[in-house]
C-alpha cells in the first residue's frame, strides 16, 4: 500500500512539474490559421456548356449588367449577365452583316461598340439590336490597335491596303458613335518598304487654343528589318485643324509601345519605348524625363497592359514579369515587383489603394499593395481553367468581373486589416 501511495505522489509531482511550463488557460492545441478573406466569390456562371473556350478579352459594364463577348470562332456575340446574381439575362448573335469575332469593345452611353476582324459596329443595348455596322474589309481597311472614345466620336487606328508597299496608308478615322458616319482625321502614306502602325490616340485640350490635340505612337514597320531595328515616333495632331502640332520622329530606336496608347499627366504625355518610359511636354514635345530599365535590355515590349496614373504615381507593366511604379513628375522608380506581372491583361483597377488585375502568365486574379507593390492575394480558377481576360469594375455594385476559359465570375475584393 505504501508503494502505491508513493507512486501516486510521484506521478502527481511530475504532472505538476509539467504544468509549470504551460501558460494558464492554454489547452496546447495547434494554432488556427487566419483565413484569407481578400477575395470573395459572389457568383460564377458557365457561359456555354457545349464549349471549353468561350469569350474574348474585353468586357463591359452597363446598367447593372456585365457584358462578355463570344468565342473567337463566333460571329459578333454578346452575353449579358445580372451583375449581382450572375443570371444570364440575354444573349445576342449577329446573323446579318459582320461575321467575325469581336476583338475590342467599349460602351458609349447605351451603345456597345465592337471592333471585329471584318469591321466595326454599334449595338443598341436598350433595344438589343444592331444600330449600325461598317464592313471595313470591303473597303480594304484592316483594324489597328484598339480605339479611343472622345465626345461623340470613336477614334480608330486602321490600315488601308495593308501590306501593299507604296500603295497603303495608316489612318486614324473617327466614327459618330450613334450613327456610324465616319471620316479620316489623319493619314500617312507608306514609303518604299515602310509600313506605319498607329496606337489608339489619347487626348489633351490645348489651353492656349481650346483645340483637342490627339497624341499617338507610330511604329515604323519595315519589311527588311527585324523588330529590334524598328523605330517609333510620337505624333501630336490638332483635331480641329488636322495639322501636326509636333512629331518626335524616331524618339526611340526600338519600337515597343505601339499596341498600348500613351497616357496624359497634367500637361505632359507619357509613353513607353525600347526598354524605357518617356515623358514629353504636350505643347512642345520637349523631353521631360526618361527612365531606363536596364534589366529589360536589349528589347522590351509595353504591349499588353495599359499604363495607369493615380495622383502622381505611374503604374506600368512590360511584357515580361515586372510591374513598375514611377513618380510621374520625375520618372523616379518608387517600387518594382519583378514577379507578379506575367502577361497582364489590359486594365488595372485601382481600388482602395490596391491594384487589381488579371495575369494570364500566372492564370490568376492578382491583388497588390499600390504603395509598395507587395502581393496581397493571388486567386486561381478552381474549374480546371485559367483566368486570361480583362477585369472590369462597377462602382454601383462594388463588384469586379472577369472570366476564365469556361466561366464568367462576379467577385468582391476586401482590403486586409
* Structure confidence by residue, pLDDT tens digits, 161-218: 877 777 788 999 999 999 999 999 999 987 765 667 899 999 999 999 999 999 999 9
Lowest-confidence segment of 59-63, 69-73, 78-82 by average pLDDT: 69-73
Q: What's the pLDDT score for residue 19?
A: 42
Mean pLDDT throughout 136-140?
94
Confidence class of residue 9 from pLDDT cuts 50, 70 and 90?
very low
Confidence class of residue 292 from pLDDT cuts 50, 70 and 90?
very high
Q: What's the pLDDT score for residue 304?
A: 81
Q: Which comes out higher in pLDDT, residue 94 or 225?
A: 94
Q: What's the pLDDT score for residue 52?
A: 67
Q: Provide the b/e sequence for 204-236 (b: ≥16 CB within 10 Å).
A: bebeeeeebbbbbbbbbbeeeeeeeebbbbbbb
Task: With beta carbons less than 8 A apart as the criterion, state whether 81 and 88 touch.
Answer: yes
Task: With beta carbons less than 8 A apart as the criterion, state whether 137 and 118 touch.
Answer: yes
Confidence class of residue 43 from pLDDT cuts 50, 70 and 90?
very high
Is the pTM higher than 0.95? no
Q: What's the pLDDT score for residue 245?
A: 97
Which domains occur in the chain, in start order?
A: 34-55+337-417 (no CATH), 58-116 (2.40.10.480)
Q: Is 135 exposed, middle or buried (0-12, 13-18, 19+ CB in 10 A)?
A: middle
Task: With beta carbons less than 8 A apart as the criterion, state whether 145 and 200 touch.
Answer: yes
Task: With beta carbons less than 8 A apart as the criterion, state whether 248 and 233 touch.
Answer: yes
- The answer on pLDDT for 1 being more than 80 is no
Helix, strand, coil share (%) of the chain residues, nearest 5: 5, 50, 45
Q: What's the pLDDT score for residue 383?
A: 86
Lowest-confidence segment of 49-53, 190-194, 278-282 by average pLDDT: 190-194
> What sign does the CA torsion over 383, 388, 392, 393 have?
positive
Per-residue DSSP letters for 80-136? EEETTT--EEEEEE--SS--S-EEEEEEETTEEEEEESSEEEEEETTTTEEEEEEES
- The answer on pLDDT for 16 being more than 70 is no
Mean pLDDT throughout 332-346?
90
* Structure confidence by residue, pLDDT tens digits, 106-117: 999 999 999 999
Cell triple for 47? 457561359
Lowest-confidence segment of 27-41, 293-307, 314-328 by average pLDDT: 27-41
Q: What's the pLDDT score for residue 284?
A: 97
Radius of gyration of the chain (CA): 27
Cell triple for 220? 515604323
Q: Which comes out higher in pLDDT, residue 154 or 49?
A: 154
- The answer on pLDDT for 32 being more than 70 is no
Cell triple for 238? 490638332
**In the predicted model, what is the mean pLDDT of the chain?**
87
Q: What's the pLDDT score for residue 3?
A: 43
Residue 256 CA to chain centroid, in angstroms? 17
Q: What's the pLDDT score for residue 259?
A: 84
Q: Is 408 exposed, middle or buried (0-12, 13-18, 19+ CB in 10 A)?
A: buried
Amino acid at each position: 500500500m505504501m508503494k502505491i501511495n508513493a507512486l501516486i505522489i510521484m506521478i502527481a509531482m511530475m504532472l505538476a512539474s509539467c504544468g509549470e511550463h504551460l501558460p494558464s488557460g492554454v489547452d496546447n492545441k495547434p494554432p488556427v490559421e487566419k483565413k484569407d478573406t481578400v477575395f470573395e466569390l459572389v457568383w460564377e456562371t458557365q457561359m456555354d456548356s457545349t464549349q471549353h473556350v468561350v469569350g474574348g478579352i474585353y468586357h463591359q459594364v452597363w446598367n447593372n449588367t456585365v457584358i462578355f463577348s463570344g468565342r473567337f470562332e463566333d460571329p459578333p456575340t454578346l452575353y449579358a449577365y445580372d451583375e449581382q446574381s450572375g443570371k444570364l439575362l440575354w444573349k445576342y448573335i449577329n446573323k446579318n452583316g459582320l461575321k467575325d469575332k469581336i476583338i475590342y469593345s467599349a460602351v458609349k452611353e447605351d451603345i456597345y461598340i465592337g471592333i471585329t476582324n471584318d469591321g466595326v459596329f454599334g449595338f443598341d443595348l436598350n433595344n438589343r439590336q444592331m444600330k449600325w455596322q461598317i464592313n471595313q474589309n470591303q473597303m480594304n481597311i484592316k483594324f489597328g490597335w484598339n480605339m479611343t472614345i472622345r465626345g461623340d466620336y470613336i477614334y480608330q487606328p486602321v490600315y488601308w491596303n495593308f501590306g501593299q508597299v507604296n500603295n497603303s496608308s495608316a489612318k486614324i478615322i473617327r466614327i459618330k458613335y450613334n450613327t456610324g458616319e465616319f471620316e479620316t482625321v489623319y493619314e500617312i502614306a507608306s514609303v518604299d518598304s515602310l509600313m506605319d502602325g498607329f496606337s489608339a490616340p489619347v487626348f489633351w485640350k490645348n489651353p492656349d487654343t481650346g483645340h483637342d490635340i490627339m497624341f499617338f505612337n507610330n511604329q515604323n514597320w519595315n519589311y527588311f528589318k527585324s523588330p529590334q531595328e524598328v523605330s517609333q515616333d510620337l505624333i501630336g495632331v490638332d483635331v480641329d485643324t488636322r495639322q501636326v502640332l509636333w512629331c518626335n520622329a524616331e524618339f526611340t530606336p526600338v519600337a515597343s509601345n505601339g499596341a498600348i496608347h500613351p497616357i496624359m499627366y497634367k500637361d505632359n504625355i507619357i509613353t513607353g519605348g525600347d526598354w524605357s518610359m518617356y515623358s514629353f511636354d504636350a505643347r512642345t514635345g520637349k523631353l521631360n524625363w526618361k527612365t531606363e530599365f536596364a534589366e529589360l535590355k536589349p528589347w522590351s515590349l509595353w504591349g499588353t497592359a495599359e499604363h495607369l496614373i493615380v495622383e502622381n504615381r505611374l503604374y506600368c507593366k512590360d511584357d515580361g514579369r515586372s510591374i513598375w511604379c514611377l513618380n510621374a513628375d520625375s520618372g523616379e522608380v518608387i517600387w518594382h515587383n519583378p514577379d507578379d506581372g506575367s502577361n497582364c491583361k489590359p486594365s488595372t483597377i485601382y481600388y482602395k489603394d490596391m491594384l487589381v488585375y488579371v495575369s494570364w502568365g500566372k492564370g490568376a486574379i492578382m491583388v497588390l499593395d499600390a504603395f509598395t507593390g507587395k502581393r496581397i492575394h493571388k486567386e486561381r480558377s478552381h474549374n480546371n481553367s485559367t483566368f486570361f481576360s480583362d477585369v472590369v469594375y462597377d462602382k454601383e455594385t462594388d463588384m469586379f468581373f472577369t472570366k476564365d476559359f469556361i466561366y464568367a465570375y462576379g467577385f468582391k475584393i476586401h482590403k486586409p486589416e
